[in-house]
Amino acid sequence: MMESDRHRLQPAARTPLARPCHKREGRARLVLNRKLDDAARDVGRAKWGIMEMRHGESDGSEKLENRENHHHSVPAGLRPPGHLLEPHAPRTSISAPWSGRFAAPLLVEATTADSGLSFRGAVVDVAQRKGSEHWSIRLNRQLDQQVRQRTEELESSNRALLAACRELESFSYTVAHDLRTPLRSMCGFSSVLLEDYPDRLDADGKEMLHRIGAAAERMGRLVDGILELSVATRSKLRRENVNLSLLAHDVVKVFNELDAGRQVETVIAEGVYAHGDPLLLRQVLENLLGNAWKYTGNAPSPRVEFGAGSQDGEVIYFVRDNGIGFDMRHAAKLFTPFARVHGVGDFKGIGIGLATVQRIITRHEGRIWTEGAPGEGATFYFCLTPAPEGIKR
Ligand SMILES: Nc1ncnc2c1ncn2[C@@H]1O[C@H](COP(=O)(O)OP(=O)(O)OP(=O)(O)O)[C@@H](O)[C@H]1O
Ligand SMILES: [Mg+2]
């Protein structure tokens, strides 16, 4: 033992020898270093035993009775004054809390055979803290159990909800599918009546048949919309690298062919790729570019643009137009099935396109959002990655 280490031990040596921390039970437990080797500052392992001390024998002169009933290893070496070594909790500590008096020495007296070094220290009553620790452990366990239970409940109701959704989806698909045939009959027979029996019907009769036919046709489109939505939700998703620029060119080419009378300036960024389902992504572009095409119908110099940019490391695709635009108050509503902001009289449609697009994007774990202003066009943004925590668009 070097002189400097002796010096360092002095403050501990001056502290009173272990005081009893028990008041009622007559016994306190102490932890003593059984074998402080004389080179105690060399860090190694030393055994510490839990000793029992009888009440009233703590004035510093009495021998501590070492029962050595518990041992545990702690790093050896000089412990700085104030270092708290706690006795092991009894095995049953959780069910039998630290209700008694327990002690832990800061430094307690121990004499090594070889060096004759002796240490002195004070005993601290840790019963209260142990009690709180015990309760906090218990509460933590309870909380853990509750969280696990709630998670299981949530997972199970999630599964039930998913199953119900799938059932509902398959029901609406079947209904929509089966409605097509009678609708086709209504359309077909009303036009047959008009063509084959024109002289037996007066003007009112003909008008009514026209209306029946038109209504059946509209209903047919709605039914097709439900089917489209259903297919976008149910079809198997296969992901691959898709050249969206090529897809956009292809889609716009079809629009140009179908609507040859219109002059629409189209700007398509080249080399834009996405990782997703090619058929579903085509449907996304058909709907978004289709809307841009349609809602620029009254614009003096219609312009439709497709491109992509990057923000915070993620690719954000967009379809922009300089058409009729919309009031941002309706922005969320646009994605609701059959919700339309503009009247059927102005622009044809049933309001299913954006709902379908949103489902496809969601299936890719992505997001879609929009910006627009009345008379100033609209931009639809989407990305195919989940929203970072706390960000909603
Ligand atoms: N580019 C756009 N500019 C302005 N309004 C738009 C645009 N795209 C969509 N909207 C508004 O959002 C509504 C919903 O769009 P959505 O594509 O779902 O339906 P739709 O175009 O009316 O019919 P369809 O089912 O044939 O697509 C539209 O009715 C329109 O009011
Ligand atoms: Mg549309």
Q: Is 331 in the pocket of ligand 1 (CB under 6 A)?
A: no
Confidence of residue 234 (pLDDT cuts 50, 70, 90): confident
Closest residue to atom 17 of ligand 1, CA basis = 353
Is CATH 3.30.565.10 the right assignment for the domain spanning 240-383?
A: yes
Measured distance CA(75)–CA(110) in Å, rounded: 16
| Number of the ligand 1 atom closest to the C-alpha atom of 321 | 1
- Tens of pLDDT, residue by residue over 65-100, are 333 333 333 333 333 333 333 433 333 222 223 333
Instruction: Tell me what the mean pLDDT of segment 331-345 comes to.
Output: 86
- Tens of pLDDT, residue by residue over 171-229, are 888 998 999 999 999 999 999 999 999 899 899 999 999 999 999 999 999 999 889 88
Closest residue to atom 8 of ligand 1, CA basis = 291
Mean pLDDT score across all residues of the chain: 73
C-beta of residue 328 within 8 angstroms of C-beta of residue 372? yes
Measured distance CA(12)–CA(119) in Å, rounded: 7
% of the chain beyond a pLDDT of 90? 49
Do the domains 240-383 and 136-234 match in fold? Answer: no
Confidence of residue 149 (pLDDT cuts 50, 70, 90): very high
**Most ligand 1 atoms within 8 A of CB, residue of 329, 354, 368, 370 to mutate:** 354
Please identify, in words, the CATH class of the domain defined by 136-234.
mainly alpha
Max alpha carbon distance in the chain (Å)?
130
More confident residue, 294 or 38: 294
- Tens of pLDDT, residue by residue over 117-129, are 333 334 444 556 6
Residue 127 has a pLDDT of 55
The CA distances from residue 199 to 33, 76, 181, 203, 208, in Å, are 117, 114, 29, 10, 15
Confidence of residue 388 (pLDDT cuts 50, 70, 90): low
Every domain of the chain and the residues it spans? 3-125, 136-234, 240-383
